[in-house]
Amino acid sequence: MNEHGRALLAEAVGTYWFFFVGAGAIIADAYGGGAGLLGIALAHGVTLAVAVSAFGALSGGHFNPAVSLGLAITGHFPWTRVPTYWVAQLAGGVAAGFTLRYVFDFALTAIDKTNLGTPSLAQGISPAAAIVVEAVLTVFLVWAVYGTAVSRLAPRIAGFGIGLTVAMDILVGGPLTGAAMNPARWFATAVPAGFFDNWWVYWVGPLLGAAIAALVIRYGFAPAEERATT
């Protein structure tokens, strides 16, 4: 397998790992696990931190179409690889979703209650407000990816800072939108659950946020010598 093939496999496997544990924690909590919002946030954040650390050297550890888009806009990721990364991320995510559907088949009430852990809008929050929430949370995530893993000035703390950002974002946005920050995270469980309410929120919000974060990085945060090569 060539280098790009290994990167795509890493993206698919890492996305599977991330979503299986993250969405699985939501279903398990609904079944009576008692993890609560903090436990769900930690399940997502810790798993992402470990997955980025494990596979970052192979693929960059994106596991998120919004991150791939953002890094392409900053000039730190080839545009030609964005479509294949998206396919790998969506495929790995859906595989995780169907695995969860099979594993939790005994807990149909929990599956129905959470739509298999699919992010959804809280009662009273409009789709427009939800897009803003998802966009802002994704801005923070992309800044964390750049500042802790991509920038030439980054402290090499692997996935630690990225995972913490996801966990903190979920603590704020989880009760509002599910805090997906990731189109693949929504897609992964929405497909096997057959739950597509407000689907555009989870594409528009994260991708918009990634683009905003990337433009700030490219024309604001990046050192002059880095901008000259991107």
pLDDT in tens, 158-172: 789 999 999 999 999
Residue 103: CB atoms within 10 A of its CB come to 13
pTM: 0.94
Domain boundaries, the chain: 3-227
**Domain 3-227, CATH among 1.20.1080.10, 2.60.40.1930, 3.30.420.130, 3.40.50.800:** 1.20.1080.10
The length of the chain in residues reads 230
For helices 36-59 and 3-28, the axis angle rounded to 10 degrees is: 170
pLDDT of residue 227: 57
Q: Which H or E run includes 1?
A: none
How is residue 38 written in tokens? Answer: 């903090």
Q: Report the Cα–Cα distance between both ends of the chain, in Å, rounded.
A: 28
How is residue 208 written in tokens? Answer: 């918009």
pLDDT of residue 228: 47
**Confidence band for 157, pLDDT divided at 50, 70 and 90:** confident
Distance CA 183, CA 203 (A): 5
Q: Which residues contact 32 (CB under 8 A, 6 or more apart)?
A: none
